[in-house]
Amino acid sequence: MTRKTTSLEKKVFQFLNDLRDSGIINMFGARPYVVEAFGIPKNEAGELLTLWMKNFNNKANYETIKTDD
Task: Write the pLDDT tens digit of every residue in 8-57.
Answer: 999 999 999 999 999 999 999 999 999 999 999 999 999 999 999 999 98
pLDDT for 58: 78
Q: Which residue has the higher pLDDT, 58 or 53?
A: 53
Residues 6+ apart with CB under 8 A from 60: 13, 14, 17
> Contact 13/55 with Cβ under 8 angstroms?
yes
Domain membership of residue 36 as a residue range? 2-66
Counting the structural domains of the chain, the total is: 1
Q: 69 falls in which pLDDT band (50, 70, 90)?
A: low
